Amino acid sequence: MLQTIVHYSLHFVFPGVLAYTFFRDQWKKAWLIMIATMLVDLDHLLADPIFDPTRCSVGYHVLHSYFAIACYIILLAFRKWRIIAVGLLFHMLTDSIDCWMMNL
Q: Rounded to an integer, what distance in angstroms lies between the CA atom of residue 3 and that of residue 97?
A: 9
Q: In whole angstroms, how close is the CB of 99 to Zn ion at the nearest point?
A: 10
Angle between helices 27-36 and 82-102 (to 10 degrees): 50
Residues 24-63 as x/- pattern, contact with Zn ion by CB under 5 A: -----------------x---------------x------
Q: Rounded to an integer, what distance in angstroms lies between the CA atom of residue 78 and that of residue 76?
A: 5
Q: In whole angstroms, how close is the CB of 25 to Zn ion at the nearest point?
A: 28
Q: In whole angstroms, how close is the CB of 19 to Zn ion at the nearest point?
A: 19
